[in-house]
Amino acid sequence: MIYLLHIIGCIAMSIERPPLPQVERYAVTDEQLFEALDAQHPAMAQVLGVLHKDGSTAAKKRLADHFRQRAEPKWFISQHDRPKHAARPQGVNTRAADRALKHIYRDFSFGEDIDWLDNPTYAPEYEFDKEWSMGFLRMPWWEELSKAYWATREEQYAAEVARQFLDFRAKHPIPVKRSGGYNHPLKYAVPEWRTLEIAIRLRGSWLNSFYRCVTSPSFDDDTICEFLKAFIEMGRHLHQFSHLGERTSNWTTAETLALFTAGMLFPECAEGAMWKQAAKERMWEQLRKQVYPDGVQWELAPGYGAGVLSQFRTFHELAKLNGEGMPEEYVARLEGMYHYFMYSSVAGRYAAFGDSGHGNARSVLRKGVQDFPHRKDFLWLATSGKEGEQPAELISAFPYAGQYVMRSGWTDDDCFMIIDAGPYGIAHQHEDNLSFELFAYGDYLITDPGSYRYNYDSPWRQFMVSTLAHNTVVVDRQGQNRRIQRELYATQKPLPHRLDATDRLVLFRGTYDAGYGPKAALKVAHTRTVLFVRGEYWVIIDRLVPEDQREHLYEALFRLNAPSATADGNVIRTRRDGPNLVIAAAPQHRGIVEVTVGQEEPVKRGWKRGGKTVLPSPTAVVGCTAAGPAVLATVLYPVPAGAKVPDVDVELVEADVLGGVTVKVTLSDGTEDVLLDDLRSP
C-alpha cells in the first residue's frame, strides 16, 4: 500500500514549529507480509499452508506462535530466559519505566497522545537541539519498559510498548525513499526515519523489546505481525539506502550492523539471506576503509571510534553466537583499535578530540580483554591496575591519525599529554590541528572543548568547533579552515610529524600549513615543537612563518580546566583545588600574556559548554604582533595539589625560525634547563 502523509506544524511549548514536507510512505500489508516469507523455510511453508487452507487470521496466529516459540537463530536476549515469578521481586527499580508509562522523556511530558515530532527546545528560552528529537526517536525508554516487564512480569509495561509501537507505526509509516536534507530545524525531510535511527531501533530498542515481550499477552498475533512487517520494512530500507559513498562514517557501520541483524535473525524472510551476505561484505569493507593501520577510526573523534569498534565487535559476536563468526583477519584488526584506546588514554579516559568527550576507556578495554586475553596490558587498564601488567611504553605514536602521546608514567598522579595533529577527519571534525590535552597529578589542566549540541546554525556550535576554542595558534584572530579542503579529511599514508625520546627529553614536532580564515586565504605555516622535560614540565615552541611580510597577530591559546587564573607579567597561574598549572611565556616585543574569560568581541574566547548553552571559562593567551616570521616559547609547569607553586622563567636565547631555537628555563630552586630545537637536525 502506497499513500501520502503530510506532517503539519503543531504547537511545542506554545511555539509553532515549521511544517515538514509531504513525502511518499508505505506500510507492508498482511498480504505482502506473507509474500515476503521464504516458502523453502520449513516453518514458513507451514504458515503458508495454513494461509491457503484457513485464511489470514489463522496464518497470522501460526506465524506469531512460531516467533513466540522459536529458539534459533539466537539473539543476545531470549524470551525463554525470562524469569518466571508470581509477584514483583523485592528491590526491582522501575522508576525509569514508570516515567515512560506517563510519557515523560527527559523531564518533558508528551501527554496522553504522543506527538512523536515534538521537541521542547523549540521554546524561546532554549537553544534548539535537534539531537533531543533524534534521541527521543530512538525510543530508549522502550528498553526500560521491556526490562521492567522482564523483571516484574507486570503486564502494564509490555502493554505500553505495544501501544506506543502501534501508535508510532500508524502515525509515521516508513518513507519510500531515504530521508534527505531539508530546510527545517530538524534538518531532515523525514527525521523520524533517518537511516541512523532505523539502525538503532532495529538492533536496539525495537528488537530488544520484541524479544522481551513477545510472549506477553499484550503482544497478540496482530502486534507480533506488525513488528515483523516493521523489521522487513527497515531491512529493505537499509539494504537499499545505507550510506555507502566514498567517505563513510559511524552511520554506515550502524546501518550495516542493523542490516546484518535483520538478515541473521529473520531467515523466515525470503530476503534475509541477501541482507546477511550484503552486510558481511559491507562490514568487511568498512573495517578496511574506516580504520587506519594505527587502529584509529577515521572520524578521529574517540567517542565515535569507540562506538564503531563496538559495532564491529557486536557484528562478530552475533555471527559467532549463531555458529558463523568472522574471519581471523577481521578479529585481528579489532586488536589494533583496542590498542589505540589503551595507549591514548589517561586515568582510564580517552581524549575529548572532535565531537567527543572524556569517555571511559576502561569499559572499552573490558571488551578487549575478552577478545584478546593474551593482552595483559589491556587487563591492567580494564581492572584499574588490579590485574595484568602495567605497560612500559611512555610515548605512543598513531601516525595516520596524527595523535601523539607522552607521559611520565601510568598512574593517575603522573604527567600526560596527547597531541592532535592529524587529518581533519571524516565527520565530527573540529579545526584543532596541533591542539592538545594536558593531564597531571590527578586531573586535566588543559582540555579540549569536546562536543557541543549538533545545532549547526548556532553561533556557539560554530565557536566550539573552531580553532578559537582549542589549544593551538590563531592568526589575526582567524582559525584554521580545513573544512573547505576535502583532500585534508583523510590520509593514505603516515603523517611526517616527529616523535622522539631520550632519557631526559621527549620531542614532538609537527606543522600545519593549510591556511587560516575565510577560504583559508591567510597563509601562515605553523610548526609546533613540544618538549617534555624529565617527565616534569613541557616547553612549547611555536614557529609562525607567513607567506607575506605584513604584520600579523599570533596567539597561542590554552583552555584551562580551572575556575579562575591570573596573569602577572609573563606568567599565568591557575587557581583551583587540586593540581594547578603555571604558564610562563618568553618575553616578546609587542607581546601578549593574558587570561580571557567570557569574551564575545572582537571574537568569542573563554567559554565552555555548560548550562543551556555555555559558561565563562578561562583561556590563557600567549602571543605577539610581528611582521614576517615569529617565535613563541611557552612553559607549561604542572604543580601537585598542596605543593608550593614555583617561580618559572623562560627566555628565548636564540630564535632562528628556519633553524635553531634555544630556550632557557629557570626554576625557583635554581635549576636551569637549556633546550635546543633545531629544524636542521635529523
Question: Which residues are within 8 A (CB) of 21 and not within 5 positions of it... i.e. 6 or more apart?
Answer: 182, 189
The answer to whether 663 and 652 have CB atoms below 8 angstroms apart is yes
Report, in this order, helix, strand and coil percent for the chain, each rounded to 5.
35, 25, 40
**Grid cell listed for 642:** 598542596
Question: Which residues are within 8 A (CB) of 612 and not within 5 positions of it... i.e. 6 or more apart?
Answer: 125, 126, 127
Q: Average pLDDT in the 515-539 region?
A: 97
Q: Return the number of other C-beta atoms located less than 10 Å from residue 381's C-beta.
A: 26
Q: Return the number of other C-beta atoms located less than 10 Å from residue 483's C-beta.
A: 14
Question: Which residues are within 8 A (CB) of 455 and not within 5 positions of it... i.e. 6 or more apart?
Answer: 127, 128, 129, 130, 461
Alpha helices in 271-327 (DSSP H): 272-290, 302-321
Q: How confident is the model at residue 8 (pLDDT cuts 50, 70, 90)?
A: very low
Q: What is the pTM of this model?
A: 0.94
SS3 letters across 430-478: CCCCCEEEEEECCEEEECCCCCCCCCCCCHHHHHHCCHHHCCCEEECCE
Rounded to an integer, what distance in angstroms lies between the CA atom of residue 661 and that of residue 631? 8
Q: Average pLDDT in the 514-529 region?
A: 97
Instruction: Using the predicted structure, report yes or no on whether residue 160 has a pLDDT greater than 70.
Output: yes
Task: State percent of the chain over pLDDT 70.
Answer: 98
Q: Average pLDDT in the 367-394 region?
A: 97
Task: Provide DSSP, 195-254.
Answer: HHHHHHIIIIIHHHHHHHHTTSTTS-HHHHHHHHHHHHHHHHHHHHH---SSS--HHHHH
In degrees, rounded to 5, the angle at the alpha carbon of residue 226 between the alpha carbons of residues 222 and 229 is 140
Q: Average pLDDT in the 396-421 region?
A: 97
Q: How confident is the model at residue 578 (pLDDT cuts 50, 70, 90)?
A: very high
Q: How confident is the model at residue 16 (pLDDT cuts 50, 70, 90)?
A: low
What pLDDT, on a 0 to 100 scale, did the predictor assign at position 126? 85
Give the bridge partners for 676, in sequence order: 662
Give 269's DSSP letter.
B
In this predicted model, what pLDDT tens digit does every residue of 491-509 receive, in sequence order?
Answer: 999 999 999 999 999 999 9
Q: How confident is the model at residue 682 (pLDDT cuts 50, 70, 90)?
A: low
Q: Average pLDDT in the 463-484 region?
A: 98
State residue 528 phi and psi, 5-degree precision.
-110, 125
In this predicted model, what pLDDT tens digit does every residue of 101-148 receive, in sequence order?
Answer: 999 999 999 999 999 999 999 888 888 899 999 999 999 999 999 999
Half-sphere exposure of 97 (CA within 13 A, CB side): 23
Residue 195, sorted as left (phi over 0), alpha (psi -120 to 50) or beta, turns out to be alpha
**Grid cell listed for 448:** 579540549
Q: Counting beta carbons within 10 angstroms of the beta carbon of residue 643, is it exposed (0 to 12), middle (13 to 18) or buried (19 or more)?
A: exposed
Q: How confident is the model at residue 17 (pLDDT cuts 50, 70, 90)?
A: confident
In degrees, rounded to 5, the angle at the alpha carbon of residue 83 between the alpha carbons of residues 77 and 84 is 140
Instruction: Using the predicted structure, report yes or no on whether residue 13 has a pLDDT greater than 50.
Output: no
Rounded to an integer, what distance in angstroms lies between the CA atom of residue 392 and that of residue 521? 45
Question: Which residues are within 8 A (CB) of 288 and not within 5 positions of it... i.e. 6 or more apart?
Answer: 333
In this predicted model, what pLDDT tens digit does every residue of 410-444 receive, in sequence order?
Answer: 999 999 999 999 999 999 999 999 999 999 999 99
Q: How confident is the model at residue 222 (pLDDT cuts 50, 70, 90)?
A: very high
Instruction: Using the predicted structure, report yes or no on whether residue 460 has a pLDDT greater than 80.
Output: yes
Instruction: Using the predicted structure, report yes or no on whether residue 388 has a pLDDT greater than 70.
Output: yes
Instruction: Using the predicted structure, report yes or no on whether residue 86 has a pLDDT greater than 90.
Output: no
Rounded to an integer, what distance in angstroms lies between the CA atom of residue 184 and that of residue 128? 11
The answer to whether 618 and 560 have CB atoms below 8 angstroms apart is yes
The answer to whether 535 and 549 have CB atoms below 8 angstroms apart is no
Q: Average pLDDT in the 249-267 region?
A: 98
In this predicted model, what pLDDT tens digit does every residue of 298-349 receive, in sequence order?
Answer: 999 999 999 999 999 999 999 999 999 888 999 999 999 999 999 999 999 9
The answer to whether 376 and 389 have CB atoms below 8 angstroms apart is yes
**Grid cell listed for 24:** 511518499
Rounded to an integer, what distance in angstroms lies between the CA atom of residue 218 and that of residue 159? 5
**Grid cell listed for 316:** 562478530
Task: Provide DSSP, 137-206.
Answer: HT-HHHHHHHHHHHHH--HHHHHHHHHHHHHHHHH-PEESS---B-SSTT-BSSGGG-HHHHHHIIIIIH
Question: Which residues are within 8 A (CB) of 384 and not within 5 positions of it... i.e. 6 or more apart?
Answer: 348, 362
Rounded to an integer, what distance in angstroms lies between the CA atom of residue 199 and that of residue 256? 8
What pLDDT, on a 0 to 100 scale, did the predictor assign at position 185? 87
The answer to whether 535 and 551 have CB atoms below 8 angstroms apart is no
Burial 601-633 (b: 16+ CB within 10 A, else e): eeebbbbbbeeebbeebbbbbbbbbbeebbbbb
Rounded to an integer, what distance in angstroms lies between the CA atom of residue 340 and that of residue 348? 13
What pLDDT, on a 0 to 100 scale, did the predictor assign at position 127? 87
**Grid cell listed for 166:** 502501534
Name the residue with cell 596524527.
402
What pLDDT, on a 0 to 100 scale, did the predictor assign at position 2? 36
The answer to whether 123 and 454 have CB atoms below 8 angstroms apart is no
Rounded to an integer, what distance in angstroms lies between the CA atom of residue 76 and that of residue 104? 28
Rounded to an integer, what distance in angstroms lies between the CA atom of residue 541 and that of residue 529? 5
Rounded to an integer, what distance in angstroms lies between the CA atom of residue 530 and that of residue 272? 54
Rounded to an integer, what distance in angstroms lies between the CA atom of residue 604 and that of residue 627? 25
Instruction: Using the predicted structure, report yes or no on whether residue 595 has a pLDDT greater than 70.
Output: yes
Q: Is the dihedral of CA 597, 600, 602, 607 positive or negative?
A: positive
What radius of gyration, in Å, describes the C-alpha atoms of the chain?
Answer: 28
Question: Which residues are within 8 A (CB) of 568 and not within 5 positions of it... i.e. 6 or more apart?
Answer: none
Q: What is the mean pLDDT of the chain?
A: 94
In degrees, rounded to 5, the angle at the alpha carbon of residue 270 between the alpha carbons of residues 269 and 274 is 105
Terminal-to-terminal C-alpha distance of the chain: 70
Half-sphere exposure of 366 (CA within 13 A, CB side): 7
Task: State percent of the chain over pLDDT 90.
Answer: 91
Q: How confident is the model at residue 14 (pLDDT cuts 50, 70, 90)?
A: very low
In this predicted model, what pLDDT tens digit does every residue of 184-215 receive, in sequence order?
Answer: 888 999 999 999 999 999 999 999 999 999 99
What pLDDT, on a 0 to 100 scale, did the predictor assign at position 4? 33
E runs forming strands in 534-617: 537-546, 551-559, 564-568, 571-575, 580-585, 591-596, 607-610, 613-616
Q: Return the number of other C-beta atoms located less than 10 Å from residue 393's C-beta.
A: 12
